[in-house]
Amino acid sequence: MRVILFDLDGTLIDSTEAILYGFRKTFEKFGKKPPKDEDVKKLIGLPLDIMFSNLGIEKKVEEFVQTYKSIYKVISKDMTVLLPNAKEAILLAKSFARLGIVTTKTGIYSKELLAYFGIMKYFDVLIGREDVTNPKPHPEPILKAIYRLKANKESTFMIGDTCLDMISAKEAGVIGIGVEFEYDKKLHECAKIVKKDVLEAVKFINAFSNSK
């Protein structure tokens, strides 16, 4: 059976508002000027410690990370929405594949968020930041998901909206399919296959599978 792994932010959900709010309030709490929204958006998909480092935080990075997490946990559900066609994509994918999530978000918060939207039940595995030593673009998250599903690379696909997802997929030896979102302007440079949204990506995989 096919396996489809999904990224979260920009692929299935839009938590941009929550992320920007979390960064803004974290910087303010430490008495620092918040970064521009566009500068934060460019980094979404990277681990939080790297995001803060790239935004100029050189000391006490872990304190910033933990503060952000405490803020995000409170507001994430109210400030996050499922992307258009995400639920339909998940239901279609579930009809012919086993499903997993591979994200750099904290796993426990991701599970709570997906449960809130009523879709966690469709996924057999969720690999979050705390589950790996090396996050995307390293192949470890994808390989760990494959291992836990007792699947094989040849039947696995990774859907994501950033080059981090596509590089991770390539390095893991699976087929990566990009979906268009605002975070990564260079997606077309690193993805061989790009679809307009996650539903179109799942339809492509379904057609691809049926042609085999």
Domain check: are 129 and 70 in the same one? no
Last residue of some domain: 75, 95, 117?
75
Question: Which range marks the domain in which residue 176 is found?
Answer: 2-14+80-211
Residue 209, pLDDT > 80, answer no
Query: Per-residue pLDDT tens for 141-151?
Result: 999 999 999 99
Domain check: are 86 and 66 in the same one? no
Domain check: are 9 and 39 in the same one? no
Distance CA 146, CA 79 (A): 31
Question: What residues contact 125, with CB distance under 8 A and at least 6 apart?
Answer: 100, 101, 145, 148, 149
Question: What residues contact 82, with CB distance under 8 A and at least 6 apart?
Answer: 12, 13, 14, 117, 119
Q: DSSP string spanning the chain?
A: -EEEEE-SBTTTEE-HHHHHHHHHHHHHHTT-PPPPHHHHHTTBTB-HHHHHHHTT--SSHHHHHHHHHHHHHHHTTTT-EEPTTHHHHHHHHHTTEEEEEE-SS-HHHHHHHHHHTT-GGG-SEEE-GGG-SS-TTSSHHHHHHHHHHT--GGGEEEEESSHHHHHHHHHHTSEEEEE--SS-TTHHHH-S-EESSHHHHHHHHHHHHHH-
Burial level of 36, CB count in 10 A (0-12/13-18/19+)?
exposed
What is the pTM (predicted TM-score) of this model?
0.93
Q: Which of 7, 9, 14, 131 is catalytic?
A: 7
Last residue of some domain: 29, 54, 75?
75
Domain check: are 65 and 97 in the same one? no
Domain check: are 188 and 101 in the same one? yes
Query: Per-residue pLDDT tens for 86-129?
Result: 999 999 999 999 999 999 999 999 999 999 999 999 999 999 99
Intra-chain end-to-end CA distance of the chain, in Å = 12
Catalytic residue flag (residue 197): no
Domain check: are 7 and 101 in the same one? yes
Last residue of some domain: 53, 75, 97?
75
Domain check: are 138 and 88 in the same one? yes
Domain check: are 69 and 98 in the same one? no
Instruction: Give the lowest-confidence range in 3-17, 28-42, 87-101, 180-194.
Output: 180-194
149 vs 185: which has the higher pLDDT: 149
CATH number at 98 reads 3.40.50.1000
Residue 202, pLDDT > 70, answer yes
Residue 210, pLDDT > 80, answer no
Domain check: are 130 and 110 in the same one? yes
Question: Strand 175-179 vs strand 156-160: parallel, antiparallel, or unpaired?
Answer: parallel
Question: What residues contact 101, with CB distance under 8 A and at least 6 apart?
Answer: 5, 6, 7, 8, 12, 110, 114, 123, 125, 126, 127
CATH number at 24 reads 1.10.150.240
- pLDDT for res 212: 64
Domain count, the chain: 2
